[in-house]
Structure 1
Amino acid sequence: MESDGVIPVSRSRPPDDGTEREILAGLLDFLRATVVNKVAGLSDEQGFSSPVPPSTLSPAGVVKHLTGVELFWFSIDFANADLVWPWTDDDPHGNFLLAPSDTLALIVADYQAACERSRGVVAGAGLDDRAKAPEMSFTLRYALAHMIEETARHCGHLDLLRERIDGATGQ
């Protein structure tokens, strides 16, 4: 069962001898592509399933969460962009919850758009630049390192969920 439009994307490993910026941005982009590839080919039913009870974690929920995290760290907190907060009062730091109108393809498209927006924020800033949102003081370097950790952790979740759903393994 194919998903409506979620297809694998190409991944490029970052240079192992590049600049700090090239390595950090490259690692994050590699992981972002891995997220998309982990859900490519799943149907909405599979993508919305929670195959590891008692957890309610689903592949679609993980991607939706990562969309919010991208917006939060780079656009809202770092760049101080005036955007809609990605989480609700009922789920202030999660956004693993899915709406009835969600589809896996739309969730992945939103994720890819958030990643592209983040790339624009990163391209226009130095690694030592500080977050512009009130009461934020982290550097872009910290945000990139944190997002590598966050995205890698959730890639691990997606590995396990995908294997449980249809047996697919691999990077």
Structure 2
Amino acid sequence: MNLHVATERELLEGLLDVQRAEIARILDDADEAEARSRLVPSLTTPMGLVKHATFVERIWFHSRVAGVPRQELGLPDTVDESFVLTEDDTIENVRQGFLDACARSRTIAAEHELDDECMWHQGPVNLRFVYGHMIAELARHAGHGDILVEQIREARRD
């Protein structure tokens, strides 16, 4: 699809999918130790970014748009917790969890119109807002991932 001449819906879906692909790529060429590398003071790691992006997909589309309570989805209570890695987290299962969450988000979104509203703690928002928010959110984290990957590659050269 050519996003330059897409409908509004196609454009929003396409731009979000571009950012989803960028998030999934963060873990390309990393080993398990590198994926868990904490190179900044925050909880941000390459794998943690992907895990957080899964959380964001599930919060916005699975919970807010689809109306499934957070507790039923087993989501952490805080944003910080969404970056925390467990011993069971691997590149493969974290990336697959993200891809699965994205697929479910696409299905949910397809069942709604851009003007359909859902509740957010700041008030009602429509699906158009959700797309815009998700594009910005994932783009920001994809950029964080690019910087971490660059640091990891530089450390390999040393």
TM-score normalised over the length of structure 1:
0.82
Report the CA distance between 1:27 and its aligned residue.
0.3
Task: Give the conservation status (yes or no) of the 8 Å contact 2:23–2:53.
Answer: no
Cα distance in 2 for residues equivalent to 1:14 and 1:81: 34
- Look up the match of 1:158: 145
- Look up the match of 1:145: 132
**Partner letter of residue 86 of structure 1?**
L
- Look up the match of 1:93: 79
Aligned equivalent of 1:31, options 4, 19, 23: 19
- Look up the match of 1:62: 49
Residue 138 of structure 1 aligns to a residue in which SS?
strand
Task: Give the conservation status (yes or no) of the 8 Å contact 1:63–1:107.
Answer: yes
Cα distance in 1 for residues equivalent to 2:101 and 2:2: 20
Deviations 1:93-147 (A, max 9, x none): 2311111111111110000000000000111110000116899521000000000
Report the CA distance between 1:72 and its aligned residue.
0.4
- Look up the match of 1:6: none
Task: Give the conservation status (yes or no) of the 8 Å contact 1:79–1:132.
Answer: no
Structure with larger RCO (C-alpha < 8 A, sep 6+): 2
Unaligned runs of at least 5 residues, structure 2: none
Task: Give the conservation status (yes or no) of the 8 Å contact 1:14–1:30.
Answer: no
Residue 137 of structure 1 aligns to a residue in which SS?
strand
- Look up the match of 1:22: 10
Report the CA distance between 1:38 and its aligned residue.
2.2
Matched-pair identity in %: 36
RMSD: 2.1
Unaligned runs of at least 5 residues, structure 1: 1-12
Mapping for residues 109-120 of structure 1, pairs under 5 Å: 109-120=96-107
Cα distance in 1 for residues equivalent to 2:46 and 2:97: 14
Q: 1:36 to 1:21 in 2, by over 3 A?
A: same
Superposed structure 1 runs of 4+ greater than 3 Å apart: 132-136
Cα distance in 2 for residues equivalent to 1:25 and 1:128: 15
- Structure 1 position 84 matched with structure 2 position 73: yes
Cα distance in 1 for residues equivalent to 2:120 and 2:39: 38
Aligned equivalent of 2:35, options 28, 43, 47: 47
**More strand by proportion, 1 or 2?**
2
Report the CA distance between 1:55 and its aligned residue.
3.5
